[in-house]
Chain A
Amino acid sequence: MSEDFAPKASSYADQWDWLFFVLVTVSAIVVAAVLVAIVVFSIRYRKGAAAFRKDLPGAFSNRLEYGWTTATALGFLAMFWWAAATQLHHAVPPEGAVEIHVLAKQWMWKIQQPNGVQEINELHAPTGQPVELIMTSEDVIHSMFLPALRLKQDVLPGRYTYLWFNGDKPGVYHLLCAEYCGTAHSRMTGRFILMSPVDYSRWSARQPQADNAAKQGEGLFNSLGCTGCHAQNSSVHAPDLHNVYGRPVQLADGRSVVADEAYLRDSILLPGKDVVAGFDPIMPSFRGQVNEEQIMQLIAYLKSLAAPGRNK
């Protein structure tokens, strides 16, 4: 494990450190200015010292107040602007990211690589290409914290959250849970291992191979009986799930939503919530029949049915 203090593993982390140190410098200047003012006034105007102590002219103090209020507001605005711009710049993951599934539970991290390789409390990822973590929790709120990337994202039960990065420095770094999650919260830690793409595929090939998530999802899709209604030749009238992922869906109540992971998840567990226009609300809920891991696999399967685009 890297013993350096605050190692950096991406160019984003460099940008982040730069922003941080500029803020530190600005703050240090402000603190120094206040300190100098206090010290100088304290000496010059200490009780008993000869000094000029008449009132300031009112117009002057007013101007002073307007001046520093405006200056402060503009200074803060500039800081906000810079921080917000950095943020927005990093907001949307690039196309074609390597998708790694993360399932958090008290108190471990379960990782599934795109090819189905499973890990616990270890996250291997290649450098030099965007990687997106698709995360959910089985129980309470956790938080994926990768300090070497200066990134963190809460992991919620019943929802998916995402974290993407583009690592550039192979190494072994901390993987931490940052949201308090109960007794062994501080032990819900592991290793984040960035590898060059060559090492990564070599590592991946050495692991016991499992079916990838989509393949497992396909199995579930059949065994749970989804095909009974959703197959193209089924007698029951249910939406065709090819190409559904990532497309806008027209709903019966007039809304239109994009079919993302959250939508697919809700359709499996809460089918009455978003009924597709033109269909009867006849789908049963699979709540209790599938666990989080299986839902993830089902979603991975549905995503694999979509036209190539976002997906690998």
Chain B
Amino acid sequence: MSQIAAVEPPPEESPTCTSYLDAGHTLVSWLTTTDHKRIGILYAIAITLFFFIAGFAIGLARLELMSPRGMLLTDEGYNRLFTLHGIVMVWFFLVPSIPATFGNFLIPLMIGARDVAFPRLNLLSWYIYLIGAGFTCYAIVAGGVDTGWTFYTPFSSLYANGNVVAAAAGVFVAGFSSIATGVNLITTTHMLRAPGMGWFRLPLFVWAIYATSLVMVLATPVLAMTLLLIVAERLFHLPVFNPHEGGDPILFQHLFWFYSHPAVYIMVLPAMGVISEVFSCFARRRVFGYVMMIYALLGIAIIGFFVWGHHMFVAGQSQYASLVFSFLSFMVAVPSAIKVFNWTATLYRGSISFEAPMIYAMGFLGLFTIGGLTGLFVASIPIDVHVTDTYFVVAHFHFIMVGGTVSAFFAALHFWWPKITGKLYSEAWARFAAIIMFLGFNTTFLPQFIMGYGGMPRRYHVYPQEFQVYHVISSMGALVLFAAYTLPLVYLGWSLFYGKRAGPNPWGATGLEWQTPSPPPEHNFDEIPRVDAPPYNYHPEKEEAFEPQGRS
């Protein structure tokens, strides 16, 4: 073990000590915990809350869109709802979703460590997140913001009449929480791997979170700076983006997308990690092309920094800049394609079963493939010129972020639920919810491709008649989707009280996290395991056979 771990000496309790859930039942014991597992759960509670707040906002907006004239809301009200939806979903749900919950909970377990490298920083990052969320809630309660989540200048800095400063402050502060989480998880992965856990023995989930953390640490400061510039212009009239004072409104878009394009990878790389774990466990096969999968993750993380200009094909940037960004966008799609092929090939000669996590993961694969392919459409300049800022782009990024990331989030939730809670949920209900979610998703978002192609602009409160039928179908789908998202609350909640006890390893999986009791003890492992095998040692030819990555 390294020096950093030595700061936190292994507890002296007996090997049969209590689980992390029983290590204190008071609220204070939760709010002052430095246990990465409890912090993961704190994050999970917070982001679930924000997921439903943001979902509720867009639910109202979708209801409104059933009519082309706008019967329910004012223009202003509608604009505030979609802005709220975007800001909260992106920064208070998607960015922390998998890394701060499952990343936090699982990384130390998967690499055989007792905690993250900086447990107190970990707790601090949750509080920072809450402070950021507090500013954002204030912005909402005090009347809302109407800039869209993209905060384009000079609208946001000079013309918007909502609480731009509070909203920007919320996002600014929350950024520090992602930086702290990123630093923590990078250090943890470098310093705290159990003996024998070489870089090329790491489960792909660890690699994915590692790549994500790098992007978080490198990109988020740019966002922070950009938001500060907006606030400086708005409050102190420092002319940065105001063209009438010599500022440049397009500069904002460069800075914003320099963060926000990598940020879309912050949102999707962890999902890729989850899918690799789930596919290999339920196909009982080693992930096809394990090494290539790692290079693909890193390739996406790195090239992802150089494609931001593809959000600006019609913004007035030079034709030649656009060509370069278009080319690089095609290139960043290559590693994504490889991942799709490799997951599919993992099924070949497997011994496949279809438990709920696997159904969610297969849903991910289909939806991510469509999202990625439509990424090629918008990377083609002439196509993008027509479909940018229409519902086509809305559909594209929802396929990636909702069809992809949120499906993966649910795959992870169902896969690791027995580990986290020690309880088994109802398999039948979980499969049912997974299928409803897939159908609801497609009903909601497929029609949006069609109306986008037809020229339906995004962020429109009232719209031309001919698009109504697509909006109505989309809103119906949203209703189904909402039901599918609430179902797990019910049956997972139920399992907490009445679920059967899960053994340490209900799926017969190979990762170290399955080699300790469910729920794990406070210090994760009674004895730090020694790792003597690569990950994913499954043997499809002999049913159920596998070799765990290591033993205590």
Contacts and interface: CB of A to CB of B under 8 A. Distances in A.
- Counting chain A CB atoms within 10 Å of each CB, the highest count among B250, B350, B543 belongs to B350
Interface string B71-97: 000011001000000000000000000
Contacts of B460: 185-186
Given A20-B453, A157-B243, A45 B381 contact: no
Interface stretch (A52-60, A126-134, A210-218, A250-258): A52-60
Interface string B200-224: 0000000000000000000000000
A141 B152 contact: yes
A87 B152 contact: no
Interface of A is mostly: mixed
B362 A38 contact: yes
A140 B323 CA distance: 26
A76 B289 CA distance: 21
B352 A42 contact: yes
Interface string A88-119: 10110000000000000010000000000000
Nearest to B346: A41
A198 interface: no
Contacts of A151: 385-386
A54 B349 contact: yes
B249 A72 contact: no
A50 to B, nearest CB: 11
A179 interface: yes
A187 interface: yes
A154 B333 CA distance: 26
Contact of B457 (A4, A150, A156, A177): A177
Given A45-B283, A106-B159, A152-B389, A270 B344 contact: no
- Counting chain B CB atoms within 10 Å of each CB, the highest count among A48, A51, A185 belongs to A185
Interface residues of A, number: 81
A207 interface: no
Nearest to A179: B389
Interface stretch (A61-69, A231-239, A296-304): A61-69
B347 interface: yes
B543 A47 contact: yes
Nearest to B362: A38
B327 interface: yes
Given A65-B289, A157-B244, A152 B386 contact: yes
A30 B389 CA distance: 26
A181 B155 contact: yes
Contacts of B350: 41, 45, 53
B352 A45 contact: yes
A16 interface: yes
A157 B154 contact: yes
B79 A143 contact: no
A71 to B, nearest CB: 10
A34 B380 contact: no
A115 B377 CA distance: 40
Given A143-B389, A151-B386, A83 B155 contact: no
A68 B341 CA distance: 8
Interface string B269-292: 000000000000001100011001
20 contacts: A23-B376, A31-B370, A38-B365, A45-B349, A45-B350, A45-B352, A65-B342, A84-B323, A84-B327, A90-B382, A140-B159, A141-B315, A152-B389, A158-B243, A176-B457, A180-B155, A180-B389, A180-B459, A184-B75, A186-B462
Interface of B: 75-76, 79, 146, 148, 150, 152, 154-155, 158-160, 243-244, 246, 249-250, 283-284, 288-289, 292, 314-316, 319, 322-323, 326-327, 330-331, 333-334, 337-338, 340-342, 344-345, 347-354, 362, 365-366, 369-370, 373-374, 376-377, 379-383, 385-386, 388-390, 453-455, 457-466, 540-541, 543
The 10 A-B residue pairs with the shortest CB-CB distance, nearest first, are A158-B243, A147-B455, A83-B380, A186-B460, A41-B347, A140-B155, A27-B373, A150-B386, A178-B389, A53-B541
Given A37-B344, A141-B315, A287-B244, 20 more contacts: A3-B466, A27-B377, A41-B347, A42-B352, A55-B349, A56-B349, A65-B292, A69-B334, A80-B330, A80-B379, A140-B158, A145-B389, A151-B386, A156-B250, A178-B390, A179-B389, A180-B152, A182-B160, A183-B76, A187-B75
